A and B are shown apart, each in its own frame.
Chain A
Amino acid sequence: MSYTSEKVIKALKVLDIKNYSYCGDAPKDEATFLKGFSIHTGTETLEDGLVVAKTSNNPDDFGFTWAEIKTEMDKL
């Protein structure tokens, strides 16, 4: 099975996971996905007023596991 960012996004929507970002290689497997994925844990405001996300790349903060997202992607 080939996994892509488009499938990841659709699976995250099914799992009702919001406020995340990803930056890295296409998430073809768990290791690649975990390297690029961040969940937003809060915000901070820059001096000019821009509200910027605080992020975590700790899987314990994600609220889901790779197995769960993989299950959803395999249904697509």
Chain B
Amino acid sequence: MIRCEERVVSATEDAPQAEPQEQRAGVCVVSADQLAQIEDHAKATYPDECCGVLIGTPGERVVVASVHAATNRSVDGKRDRYEIDPEEILHLAHAGEKEEHEVVGFYHSHPDHPPAPSPTDVARAWPAYAYLIIAVDARERAETRAWVYDEDSKRFHEQAIVVEHDPSSASYNLASDLGN
């Protein structure tokens, strides 16, 4: 099991840095396969941003049961923006109910940028969801970090990603063309 340190940041280098502060942001539990699959999605869509939906159990300890690639339908350009069709989210929410799961968060990539929320991410953030951000570059290096938005402080706080090696729980569904 790999555990990342919890720390608090507010945005990338283009935005003011947060003062260090102690604040729990919970834990995001994923399987090694799920993590590999979202990073592969990010590499496949590079230099455009990829995006997807996380289905599982919410709470202080978010447990991701499955990850689902989504179509990036941004009309402002896919190189540095993403947008997920709410109907895709709706259908995945309905499907997850059979297993008593729900939409617990989303993932998207930052081609050639750090895996930390940008001012745009902050502006469009919803609380309680786990946001996985994957930094990816032309050499196919990828790094994923998890974030949760706090409405009171109006900033993201980093969640620890806990990777549990359980292939039986790994589930990946390609909901759209990887080429985006």
Partners in one complex: no
Residues of A within 8 A of B (CB): none
